Amino acid sequence: MSDIEEDEFQDAQESLPQPTSMDLDTAIMEAKKAIHYFFNNDFEEARKIMEPWASSSMYHSLGTSIFAFLEAILTFEQKYIEKAAGAVKQCMTVCLKQRKHVTLTQNIGKMVKKTNYDAYTIDEVHAELCYAESLFLKSMLTFVEDETLVSFVKAGLKIRTCFLSYKECLTILNNRKWENDAYKVHFESGVRTGIGAFNLMISLLPAKIIKLLEFIGFSGDKEYGLSELEAGYQERRGLRHVLCAMFLLSYNLLVSFVLSHTDGDLDWCEKVLEEELSLYPNGVWFLFFKGRLELTRGKFENSLEWYTKSWKSQDLWPQFHHICFWELMWAHCSLQQWNQAAMFAGHLAEESHWSRTIYLYQRAAILMMQNPSVQSEEKQTIDTLMMQAPTFKQRIAGKSLPMEKFVIKKTERYFAQKKSLVLPIFELMYVWNLFRIVGKRQDLMLNMFKVIEEAEKKLVKTSKTEFHADNEALLSLLKGACLRQLKHPLSAENCLKRVLELDKLIKEDTYLLPYATVELALLAQDQGNIQLALGYLEDAKKNFTGYLLESRLQFRIHSDLMKLTGKKAEDILM
């Protein structure tokens, strides 16, 4: 066929009547089917259902956007970010066409009298919800589309628009007369997911940020957010039921362990995972969360099995393997299985695009733990990793990543201390909040304590250098944290107070002072002395600033203050 004939053939094909719309019932049914395929790891089948109608059906377009969004955040590669941005833009266009068109006169009238939401068609109602969801995806993508401060501001504005859109959906839910219960169930499922997620996320932020957000119309209530998401999960007929499960599992098993000193609801997670794994026995997401549940309970050997199942359950998204490798690395570190931990650290450094700076340093830190008298070849590998790590530093929203800044400082210290560091992997485990998980296994905690004691003896024997106080303070913090987990409060207190005594002598590692202060607060809390705990937390919050990893500690302080005072985030005094 000639080029002209081919063009004529294509024109003829395009002139044939093509289906241009899909009814809402079929769209929701197909979305349910795609969700089922997706959580059974059949990502391609899910995509095949969604993509053909992505330019005309709101739910198909939204599904296509979600798949593209997940691919973008898992790979962190520009081509996938651009692809996701295009899919989300198309989704917003589809939703805008089907939303209720409000004239200027109607907008003015809205200020005077209530909107009659019964006048909205069921398609217009669901278009409003899908538009809010696409706005959320767009705002999240804006954070990673480029690295300027402008993109950060744009994302903030989009999140505000998204939040207001969800509030409008909540008003529709509560003020509309619903003739069809099925349509209401799916709509309510989406509203609870969005409102719940927003309230939960905002409530986790430090008080200063919350005050600013409330000024521009945001609000956050943790308990309300959790209850909305749980209600969304309990309504199993709802299209977003499984999304509520994902939010809650992420909060209870990941967020609460990184940003607070309190466990999530692990019993609830166990029950949910039992239900979801019965439906999706090979689903990569739920296998991963099962591994995380075992890890958070200190059952590291069990977690290795579940993470490995998750990793090996699919190959279409190799980027998800990296999330499993990250967890497997820390599980092996907790068991002090350094060879296996170094292997997974190596996979991350070679294959993942998230942060090679962090991965390279972690691998070097693990290799340093393998043998006190490292062979010359291994020593050369460590030197090379320490030199390479800083060269891959990134800037997101115009700023360096806090953990990258931290590890770059440590690589500099490595060379300044004649190619040595004091227990660098234990230091990382502490700042990643892993001591509280390892503490659930007294045998493993005792093993860590013995290693710290040996390092302490070695430090005493070596001649003092300009960083001697920094190294002593680090060992005192690690030892004090271990002793708190081993239920030796007096010895723990002595170690932690020793860190504070070294205040004037510490040259670089000033972060040790506020972290030790918070550890003293946790120790007081363990013993039931709430007033003393609050005092230490306020000291850590107000007396220290400009140190490395400050933001993550501020998140944890905020969470502890909310827990101890029983107040909501906005009630905590500045």
Q: Using pLDDT thresholds of 50, 70 and 90, give the confidence band for residue 342.
A: very high
Looking at residue 11, its pLDDT comes to 46
The whole-angstrom separation of Cα 75 and Cα 517 is 38
Long-range contacts from 228-234, C-beta under 8 angstroms, 24+ separation: 228/192, 228/193, 228/195, 228/196, 228/199, 229/192, 229/193, 229/196, 229/197, 229/200, 231/192, 231/196, 232/188, 232/189, 232/192, 232/193, 232/196, 233/272
Count of CA atoms in the C-beta half-sphere (13 A) of 411? 26
Q: Using pLDDT thresholds of 50, 70 and 90, give the confidence band for residue 221.
A: confident
- Average pLDDT on 256-264 reads 91
- Helices 424-431 and 356-370 sit at what angle, rounded to 10 degrees? 130
Segment (H or E) for 343: helix 338-351
Percent of all residues in the chain with a pLDDT value above 70, rounded to a whole number: 86
Chain segment 528-570, per-residue pLDDT in tens: 999 999 999 999 999 999 999 998 999 899 889 988 987 554 4
Chain segment 270-289, per-residue pLDDT in tens: 999 999 999 999 999 999 99
Which two three-digit tokens encode residue 196?
Answer: 């719940």
Chain segment 5-59, per-residue pLDDT in tens: 444 434 433 443 345 568 999 999 999 999 999 999 999 999 999 999 999 999 9
* DSSP tag of 254: I
Q: Using pLDDT thresholds of 50, 70 and 90, give the confidence band for residue 151.
A: low
Which two three-digit tokens encode residue 36?
Answer: 């089922």
Looking at residue 4, its pLDDT comes to 44
- Average pLDDT on 208-220 reads 60
Looking at residue 404, its pLDDT comes to 94
pTM of the complete model: 0.88
Chain segment 159-212, per-residue pLDDT in tens: 778 888 999 999 999 999 998 888 999 999 999 999 998 888 877 776 666 665
Looking at residue 343, its pLDDT comes to 96
- CA 388-392-397 angle, 5° bins: 160
The whole-angstrom separation of Cα 174 and Cα 184 is 10
Q: Which of 231, 281, 416, 428 is nearest to 345 (CA)?
A: 428
95: Cα separation from own chain's centroid: 28
The whole-angstrom separation of Cα 137 and Cα 159 is 9
Looking at residue 568, its pLDDT comes to 53
Chain segment 360-414, per-residue pLDDT in tens: 999 999 999 986 555 678 889 999 999 999 999 987 655 678 899 999 999 999 9
The amino acid present at 188, given as its one-letter code, is: E
Looking at residue 139, its pLDDT comes to 78
In this predicted structure, the answer to whether residue 157 has a pLDDT above a threshold of 70 is no
Most confident of 72-86, 186-200, 213-227, 467-481: 467-481
- Average pLDDT on 248-255 reads 94
Looking at residue 3, its pLDDT comes to 45
Looking at residue 154, its pLDDT comes to 60
- Report the chain's mean pLDDT, rounded to a whole number: 87
In this predicted structure, the answer to whether residue 113 has a pLDDT above a threshold of 90 is no
Looking at residue 213, its pLDDT comes to 58
User: Which domains does the chain possess?
Assistant: 24-103+114-265 (no CATH), 461-573 (1.25.40.10)
Looking at residue 567, its pLDDT comes to 59
In this predicted structure, the answer to whether residue 71 has a pLDDT above a threshold of 90 is no
Which two three-digit tokens encode residue 177?
Answer: 């007369």
In this predicted structure, the answer to whether residue 463 has a pLDDT above a threshold of 90 is no
